Amino acid sequence: MTHIVGCIDGSRATAAVCDYAAWAGLRMDAPLMLFHVLDHSRYPVEPDLVGSIGLGSREHLMEELAELDEKRSKLALEQGHHLLQAAEDRVRERGIENVRQRQRHGDLTESLLAIEQDTQLLVMGLHGESSSDRDVHMGSQLETVIRSLHRAIMLVPDDYQAPRSAMLAFDGSPTAFKGVELLANSPVFKDFPLHLVMIGADTADRWEPLKQAEKMLAASGCDTHLAIRAGDVEKALHGYQEENDIDLLVMGAYGHSRIRQFLVGSTTTNMLKTATKPLVILR
């Protein structure tokens, strides 16, 4: 059985990750997995100090350093267990009954790839552990995860607000229609106003695929709105979202279109840094 996976790390976004994961779990009627990774670069399982410069034959010093690293690793493991338990308590309060905890030691992306087959939707925070009110940092491994995983990813801000509407960045490609089909079959959007937004010139040939997508969504009972906007992808999408007070921005990896180039290009960093509402990436 596939899970909604809430990836938590102790950052300010952890509570929101739990809340959005619980929201998605209830909407999709899916079990929830709370996932925490102990980065091996920060918490090595087996400290290796053999090549340390300047230690020479001071074996007792090497042993003490090894003991300190081992103790640090054990404390991090214990802290992770407490973090997972607090997260489980939180999602249960929100009505989730089927929940499990999982903690791994290693690289974040590799750890997520290891559970990819068990993942239906991955929920992660937009901002990293080093973020503060004055200095917001995008999660350092976020783009690597986005490029590597082939599952839908929901990236969330630090504060939770139950979504009530969504918009799909659409380009009319075959892959884009697969995204429309996915949304049409998802219980998440059954009673949502759903906006399909295409970036480019307002021409008749652009309206045709939009109308086709609208029919697909209408058959599933979605309240669909269509729009074409010219200009820069990031600014146009953000602008439309703000004007229409839309809670979720949904994007897909669409061939070689402008949206595809945006998703995997340098502009992605700015989009993720400036996002104040959840962003869902379909893969």
**What pLDDT does 102 receive?**
95
Cβ atoms within 10 Å of 149's Cβ, excluding its own: 17
The reported pLDDT for the residue numbered 229 is 94
Domain covering 166-278 in this structure, CATH number = 3.40.50.620
Return the SS3 of 6: strand
Domain ranges of the chain: 3-43+76-156, 166-278
Instruction: Please report the sign of the dihedral spanned by the C-alpha atoms of residue 218, residue 222, residue 226, residue 231.
Output: negative
Instruction: Give the model's pLDDT for residue 256.
Output: 45
pLDDT at position 134: 43
- Cβ neighbours around 173 below 10 Å, total: 17
Q: Which CATH class is domain 3-43+76-156?
A: alpha beta
Q: How far apart are CA 85 and CA 83, in angstroms?
A: 5
* pLDDT for position 22: 98
Question: From the first residue on, what is the mean pLDDT of each consecutive set of 10 residues in the chain (283 residues)?
Answer: 92 94 95 90 53 57 68 80 95 96 92 95 81 48 84 93 93 85 86 91 93 90 91 88 94 55 53 81 81
Amino acid 254: pLDDT: 41
The reported pLDDT for the residue numbered 251 is: 83
Given its phi and psi angles, is residue 75 left (phi above 0), alpha (psi -120 to 50 degrees) or beta? alpha
Separation of alpha carbons 163 and 194, rounded Å: 12
What's the CA gap between 81 and 102, in Å, rounded? Answer: 9
